[in-house]
Chain A
């Protein structure tokens, strides 16, 4: 059957879209044996004072090949001589995805913050 320019354009775009989608999913399928692996990067240089305390932005990423649900993270720091803990839960963290979060403390911490992964649920 003879195809006109519109049909050719749609066909070429369709083949390209299918190839990209299938390619990405095939590559993902090969790497999905890796379990979820949440990681946190603190952005202390962007920390700022807020109305209710000291806010420290951070990025949580999932370096694994599977998604994680209910990822709970805990940051601890010394504030006014006392250890203060800030906890945050990320509801859904797909594989290879970054989510912006922020830890908060009652005031500017003294010294460095430490972050630990409390746990997460496997979907």
Chain B
């Protein structure tokens, strides 16, 4: 077996294993199985399309291989989504959620929903969780120029990846009854407190908690500063939360205050996901060093 093939096998094994690690909680969530059957097919297709865009955005910042044209990026992202679909199908088979009597529509719905977190996990694992060998092989395959990794992700990319992280985290709770209960029962003052606390938490998480990927000044744009970026990420998280609530039929027939409450409560989870995702891809000192290492590898 050539080194190149061995490296590819290692890359895909890591991507698959990482995808299953991230997707495991949702593979064991009853509400996801049910919603796979209940949600209209067009909504499932829409969610899959959004997942593809998020994976594409994430891979464009930190993908399988560093040096790629847009077409190659799009093709690699297809592989990531496909990997998610195949793994979701196999996992659901093994768990007995897809059986001989399961209709094609039912199976497709479950696979479509479960494939989303697995694809996100595969995308993250293929990059952030890469060991030294993987990084080297990536460099070799991509020509080793490391052009992408030398560049700090821009504000738009950080927010796009943040949306992906928010989608992944919020997907875990959106189909359950808890956001509905929390949102409907919370009076407006409490919701405002939750918004404030979330903003403080995510600001501290990304900029002041000194995690490994803590970003430092990355540009001169408005969104390159801590407070504006935190506010923008929260706005994105609200949009992600509302999208998920709508997708899972949570806002059908609900009043404006209930919708606002549910959205804010789910946005707490989405915001933390967005913060973690931004930390993962953030440049900063550590990211810059890592980029340099990969470029030289």
Contact = CB atoms under 8 A, between A and B. Distances in A.
24 contacts: A1-B142, A6-B9, A11-B82, A13-B82, A14-B78, A14-B82, A14-B85, A16-B82, A17-B89, A21-B108, A21-B111, A22-B48, A24-B108, A25-B48, A25-B105, A26-B41, A28-B105, A28-B108, A28-B109, A29-B40, A29-B42, A94-B37, A94-B109, A98-B101
Interface in A45-104: 67, 92, 94-100
A5 B5 contact: yes
Q: For this complex, into which size category does the number of interface residues on chain A fall?
A: 20 to 34
Interface of A: 1, 4-7, 10-11, 13-18, 21-22, 24-26, 28-29, 32, 67, 92, 94-100, 123
Given A17-B85, A21-B112, 12 more contacts: A1-B65, A6-B9, A7-B8, A7-B79, A10-B82, A14-B82, A15-B78, A18-B81, A18-B85, A21-B115, A22-B48, A96-B104
Nearest to A1: B72
B65 A123 contact: no
Contacts of A7: 8, 79
Q: For this complex, into which size category does the number of interface residues on chain B fall?
A: 35 or more
Contact of B4 (A4, A21, A28, A96): A4
A59 B101 CA distance: 11
Interface string B73-85: 0010011111101
A98 B2 CA distance: 49
Contacts of A99: 101
B78 A18 contact: yes
Contacts of B225: none
A17 B82 contact: yes
B86 A92 contact: no
Given A1-B141, A4-B5, A32-B41, A21 B85 contact: yes
B235 interface: no
A67 to B, nearest CB: 5
Interface in B1-46: 2, 4-5, 8-9, 12, 34, 37-38, 40-42, 44-45
A25 B5 contact: no
Given A26-B41, A28-B41, A32-B40, A14 B83 contact: yes
Contact of A14 (B8, B86, B104): B86
Contact of B101 (A6, A18, A29, A97): A97
Contacts of A21: 48, 85, 108, 111-112, 115
A97 B72 CA distance: 40
Contacts of B224: none
Can you list the 4 inter-chain pairs with the closest CB atoms, starting with the nearest?
Answer: A14-B82, A94-B37, A96-B103, A29-B41
A10 B65 CA distance: 15
Contacts of A98: 101, 103
B278 to A, nearest CB: 28
Contacts of A26: 41, 45
Contact of B44 (A14, A16, A25, A67): A25
Contact of B37 (A5, A10, A95): A95
B81 to A, nearest CB: 6
